[in-house]
């Protein structure tokens, strides 16, 4: 998003004009930014055969999936529904990694039938997989290297008590199952969580995976997951992906040499690809002065963007309608009957009823975590692609909310 003499623009388009055309609340994504993010990350790992599997739970709109497919991405999916959306968007099943957790085995069967790459993260599931598919269908194994990423237990999924992955200490057990059933293990996987700043977390995990690789002679790829920290506010320290890339590439090359074969290196970025490309545009309904605070109440809430309330995440907010107005302090809150605060004590250009605010970093885990709480419809989604604003999801309405509800005769 850029501030020009004519106001705020995104992808070269006037954002207020976009809000006027499609209404608010509105999710707006800049395709150019997503494409740039993809190539920045891919280029950071040049020197090895790197593949990016977009973790599409971050933003699952089929048009976003198509956009990344065009750039050469694969997909990381956590449900059959995500995988099927990916296939519909044009991905080959063989480009789609299926990394579920605690699902019923029948879904793994369906994933095998679809031809997805299966990632197994639990021992009894591996045994069952072996007894049905051993010698026939390969699988990847999700290991838990027990590394704390990001320092926040909500977003760290590789620590000792995490429900994800098979402990790195259980590799001998994995090996026994694999040998017994003749399972071909084609990949090793780890994903330690979000907000990783430096190469150290990846390298510590990588080292453990390299060691484990000695037990699996048929590997084709290593998947180091994701968690690249992105910028949420001015002054935020962010992942230096070029530096991380150079260090990991060097260590991976060395590993391949000792393994005896060049493997593919995979990552599964979600946030890094889409977070800064998305904005949630909202309308100011009320400016309410209380004894201590000035609230700006908007036509959205935790039903549309949950991260500030769920993770205490900071999302920068700008007033698009009054870019030169005098700064005042506001708490920006939603219209849901909960304390759904988007931002405390923010300095914004003076906010008036009817102004449009833009909430930043709404590309990742924004729409995809939204709900119909308070029976509110979810926003429309628009993608700015080739200098035009395209509607990529219609706004919901009451009919949508009622469509699966059945009225009992009483
Ligand atoms: C959520 C998730 C990702 C993406 O994480 P980001 O922090 O959005 O990059 C990657 N891999 C797996 C297995 C995930 O669950």
Atom of ligand 1 nearest to the CA of 142: 13
Same-domain check for residues 315 and 389: yes
Same-domain check for residues 265 and 279: no
Q: How far is the CA of 19 from the centre of ligand 1 (A)?
A: 30
**Local confidence band at 202 (pLDDT 50, 70, 90 cut-offs):** confident
Same-domain check for residues 254 and 288: no
CATH value at residue 16:
2.40.37.10
Among residues 399, 402, 398, 390, the alpha carbon closest in space to that of 26 is found at 390
d(CA 50, CA 48): 6
Lowest mean pLDDT across 133-137, 208-212, 231-235, 381-385: 231-235
d(CA 216, CA 181): 14
Q: How far is the CA of 263 from the centre of ligand 1 (A)?
A: 22
Supply the pLDDT for residue 236: 83
How large is the average pLDDT for residues 267-291? 97
On whether residue 87 sits in a domain, the answer given is no
Is 102 catalytic? The answer is no
For the cut 90, the answer to whether the pLDDT of residue 3 exceeds it is yes
How large is the average pLDDT for residues 386-392? 98
On whether residue 59 sits in a domain, the answer given is no
On whether residue 55 sits in a domain, the answer given is no
Same-domain check for residues 195 and 257: yes
Same-domain check for residues 306 and 378: yes
On whether residue 207 sits in a domain, the answer given is yes
Three state DSSP letters for 65-129: HHHHHHHCCEEEECCHHHHHHHHHCCCCHHHEEECCCCCCHHHHHHHHHHCCEEEECCHHHHHHH
For the cut 80, the answer to whether the pLDDT of residue 158 exceeds it is no
Supply the pLDDT for residue 163: 86
Q: What percent of the chain shows pLDDT beyond 70?
A: 96
User: Would you say 401 and 372 are in contact if contact means Cβ atoms under 8 Å apart?
Assistant: yes
221-223 vs 13-14, strand pairing mode: unpaired
Residue to mutate (ligand 1; options 270, 277, 361; most atoms within 8 A of CB): 270
Across the chain, what does the average pLDDT equal? Answer: 95
Supply the pLDDT for residue 299: 98
For residue 156, what is the DSSP state? B
239 or 346, which is more confident: 346
On whether residue 145 sits in a domain, the answer given is yes
Q: How far is the CA of 80 from the centre of ligand 1 (A)?
A: 16
Residue to mutate (ligand 1; options 58, 141, 150, 154; most atoms within 8 A of CB): 58
Same-domain check for residues 117 and 218: yes
- Write the pLDDT tens digit of every residue in 8-33: 999 999 999 999 999 999 999 999 99
Supply the pLDDT for residue 149: 63
Most confident residue range from 61-70, 190-199, 221-230: 61-70
Atom of ligand 1 nearest to the CA of 272: 9
d(CA 340, CA 68): 33
**Local confidence band at 235 (pLDDT 50, 70, 90 cut-offs):** confident
Structural domain boundaries enclosing 232: 99-269
Same-domain check for residues 154 and 187: yes
d(CA 106, CA 313): 36
Residue to mutate (ligand 1; options 41, 52, 54, 55; most atoms within 8 A of CB): 55
User: Would you say 227 and 163 are in contact if contact means Cβ atoms under 8 Å apart?
Assistant: no
**DSSP element (H, E) containing 139:** strand 139-144
User: How many folded domains does the chain comprise?
Assistant: 2
How large is the average pLDDT for residues 91-109? 97
Q: Which of 269, 292, 320 is the last residue of a domain?
A: 269
For the cut 80, the answer to whether the pLDDT of residue 156 exceeds it is no
How large is the average pLDDT for residues 81-102? 97
Supply the pLDDT for residue 155: 56
- Write the pLDDT tens digit of every residue in 110-154: 999 999 999 999 999 999 999 999 999 999 999 999 886 655 555
For the cut 90, the answer to whether the pLDDT of residue 238 exceeds it is no
d(CA 137, CA 232): 42
Q: Which of 231, 252, 269 is the last residue of a domain?
A: 269
Supply the pLDDT for residue 234: 85
Same-domain check for residues 262 and 302: no
Same-domain check for residues 288 and 194: no
For residue 228, what is the DSSP state? B
Q: Which residues of 393-410 are buried (b: 16+ CB within 10 A; e: fewer)?
A: bebbeeeeeeeeeeeeee
- Write the pLDDT tens digit of every residue in 46-69: 999 999 999 999 999 999 999 999
The Cβ of residue 245 has, within 10 Å, a number of other Cβ atoms equal to 23
The Cβ of residue 68 has, within 10 Å, a number of other Cβ atoms equal to 26
Same-domain check for residues 247 and 310: no
Atom of ligand 1 nearest to the CA of 227: 7
Pocket around ligand 1: residues whose beta carbon is below 6 Å from it? 55, 57-58, 76, 78, 99, 191, 194, 225-227, 268-272, 364
Report the half-sphere exposure of 317 (CA within 13 A, side-chain side).
Answer: 32
Tokens representing 13?
Answer: 């388009």
How large is the average pLDDT for residues 310-325? 97
Atom of ligand 1 nearest to the CA of 58: 8
Q: How far is the CA of 108 from the centre of ligand 1 (A)?
A: 20
Among residues 16, 35, 32, 17, the alpha carbon closest in space to that of 273 is found at 35
Same-domain check for residues 213 and 162: yes
CATH value at residue 262:
3.20.20.10
Please state the pTM of the whole predicted model.
0.95
Q: What percent of the chain shows pLDDT beyond 90?
A: 88
């Amino acid at each position: 998003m850029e501030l020009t003499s004519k106001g705020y623009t995104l992808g070269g388009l006037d954002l207020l004009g976009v809000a006027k055309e499609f209404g608010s609340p509105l999710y707006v994504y800049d395709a150019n930014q997503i494409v740039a993010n993809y190539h920045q990350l891919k280029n950071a790992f040049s020197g090895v055969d790197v593949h990016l599997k977009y973790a599409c739970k971050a933003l699952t709109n089929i048009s976003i999936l198509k956009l990344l497919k065009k750039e050469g991405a694969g997909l990381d999916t956590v449900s059959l529904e995500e995988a099927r959306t990916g296939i519909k968007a044009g991905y080959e099943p063989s480009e789609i990694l299926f990394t579920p957790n605690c699902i019923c085995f029948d879904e793994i069967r369906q994933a095998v039938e679809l031809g997805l790459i299966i990632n197994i993260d639990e021992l009894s599931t591996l045994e069952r997989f072996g007894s049905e598919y051993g010698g026939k269908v390969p699988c990847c194994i999700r290991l838990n290297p027990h590394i704390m990423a990001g320092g926040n237990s909500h977003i760290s999924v590789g620590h000792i008590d995490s429900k994800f992955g098979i402990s790195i200490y259980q590799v001998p057990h994995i090996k026994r199952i694999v040998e017994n059933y003749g399972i071909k293990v084609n990949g090793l996987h780890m994903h330690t969580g979000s907000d990783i700043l430096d190469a150290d977390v990846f390298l510590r995990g990588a080292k453990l995976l390299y060691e484990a690789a000695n037990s699996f002679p048929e590997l084709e790829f290593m998947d180091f997951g994701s968690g690249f920290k992105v910028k949420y506010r001015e002054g935020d320290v962010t992942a230096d992906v070029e530096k991380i890339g150079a260090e990991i590439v060097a260590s991976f090359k060395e590993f391949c040499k000792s393994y005896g074969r060049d493997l593919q290196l995979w990552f599964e970025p979600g946030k890094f690809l889409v977070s800064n490309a998305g904005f949630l545009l909202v309308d100011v309904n009320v400016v309410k002065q209380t004894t201590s605070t000035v609230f700006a109440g908007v036509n959205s809430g935790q039903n549309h963007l949950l991260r500030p309330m769920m993770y205490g995440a900071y999302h920068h907010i700008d007033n698009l309608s009054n870019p030169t107005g005098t700064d005042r302090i506001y708490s920006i809150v939603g219209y849901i009957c909960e304390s759904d605060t988007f931002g405390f004590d923010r300095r914004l250009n003076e906010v008036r009823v009817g102004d449009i605010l833009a909430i930043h970093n709404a590309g990742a885990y924004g729409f995809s975590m939204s709900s119909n709480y308070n029976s509110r419809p979810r926003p429309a989604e628009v993608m700015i692609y080739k200098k035009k604003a395209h509607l990529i999801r219609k706004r919901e309405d009451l009919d949508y909310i009622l469509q699966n509800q059945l009225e009992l005769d009483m």
